[in-house]
């Protein structure tokens, strides 16, 4: 993986360095250590995509994906809406990068999924510190539920089947947006039907399972550190998991992922919370963190795509 900014040789210029993620230099420049190139929307075989602006201030946008066969048919056939939040530790990746673009083209085609995807491009740290990303994702969901969204959504989206989904940090965003959906009304009475959290990024000051004892950072000066309720859903100040605002959840983990035990921990916590919904746990054997995004054509990635499509469609 290549950086999206020019690397600097003098480490003395670095003011913030989170290993493998980001460096911030004294002159204000930022080096993101993991990313993939940005690519334009496209019509590839059975899947079409386009970019839209959700908000100019703050800057929130999205890439929409829709089966091409539906674009010119404004009939009664409505499809589920998946509002997706990408991963990247809140520091890197984009709804417009090659990695996620390829993933959703494969997801809709290989899984034969008639689903409308809204892949949200939220603002990244460290330029825009957290919790901005959480607010952006909530605003994106509100926009989807409004009457001012895009014609693809209004013409083809089934507002009785709105889902949230995300990988890694994106799954963390899903959790927090689902909590907010349980506490605040969305426009037009829209409800979130379900959510998938794939290899979710949660932490706490007390390691569990195979987690390292130290070395975790979230973002500078986070109130409560790793026990900030946004990062630790079981922190003392965190809302009850019983208030998650959806009716069905699937938590997906990968056997070799360092966050695997944390995903199972979250699943068990929801199961024991008193939340009244349908809950599932899915584990991909022999795989590491976000394998489904990095190697989307692998056998296990295709299995996970089909499992998620089934979760959304049935």
Q: Where in the sequence numbering do the catalytic residues fall? A: 168, 257
Q: Please give the backbone phi and psi of residue 278, each rounded to the nearest 5 degrees, phi first.
A: -90, 125
Give me the numbers of helices (H) and strands (E) for the chain, helices first please: 7, 12
| Cross-strand pairs, 157 | 79
Rg (CA), the chain: 19
At 30 the three-state DSSP class reads strand
In order of 17, 119, 166, 309, the CA distances from 83 in angstroms are 31, 6, 9, 13
Taking the alpha carbons of 291, 19, 197, 160 in that order, is the dihedral positive or negative? negative
Q: Tell me how far apart the alpha carbons of residues 164 and 282 are, in angstroms, rounded to a whole number.
A: 17
The token pair that represents 84 in the structure block: 């997706």
At 14 the three-state DSSP class reads strand
Query: Which DSSP string do the residues of 65-131 spell out, in sequence order?
Result: EEEGGGTT--SS--EEEEEEE--STTTS--TTBHHHHHHHHHHHHHTT---EEEEEEPPPTTTS-TT
Q: Please give the backbone phi and psi of residue 289, each rounded to the nearest 5 degrees, phi first.
A: -60, 135
């Amino acid at each position: 993986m290549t950086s999206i900014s020019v690397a600097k040789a003098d480490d003395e210029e670095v003011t913030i360095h989170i290993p493998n993620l980001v460096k911030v230099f004294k002159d204000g420049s930022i080096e993101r250590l993991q990313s993939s190139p940005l690519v334009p929307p496209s019509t590839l075989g059975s899947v079409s995509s386009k970019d839209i602006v959700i908000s100019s201030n703050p800057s929130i946008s999205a890439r929409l994906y829709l089966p091409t066969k539906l674009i010119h048919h404004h009939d009664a056939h409505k499809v589920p809406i998946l509002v997706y939040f990408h991963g990247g530790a809140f520091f890197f990746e984009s709804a417009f990068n090659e990695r996620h673009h390829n993933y959703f083209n494969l997801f809709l085609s290989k899984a034969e999924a008639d689903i409308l995807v809204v892949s949200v491009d939220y603002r990244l740290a460290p330029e825009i510190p957290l919790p901005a990303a959480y607010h952006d994702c909530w605003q994106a969901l509100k926009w989807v539920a409004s009457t001012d969204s895009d014609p693809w959504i209004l013409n083809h989206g089934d507002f009785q089947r709105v889902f949230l989904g995300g990988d890694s940090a994106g799954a963390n965003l899903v959790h927090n947006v689902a909590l907010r959906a349980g506490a605040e009304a969305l426009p037009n009475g829209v409800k979130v039907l379900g959510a998938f959290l794939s290899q979710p990024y949660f932490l706490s000051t007390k390691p569990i399972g195979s987690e390292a004892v130290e070395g975790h950072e979230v973002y500078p000066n986070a109130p409560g550190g790793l026990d900030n309720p946004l990062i630790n859903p079981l922190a003392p100040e965190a809302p009850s998991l019983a208030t998650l605002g959806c009716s069905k959840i699937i938590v997906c983990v990968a056997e070799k992922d360092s966050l695997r035990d944390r995903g199972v921990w979250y699943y068990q916590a929801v199961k024991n919370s008193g939340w009244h919904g349908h809950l599932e746990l899915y584990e991909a054997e022999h795989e590491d963190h976000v394998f489904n995004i990095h190697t989307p054509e692998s056998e296990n990635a295709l299995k996970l795509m089909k499992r998620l499509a089934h979760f959304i469609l049935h």
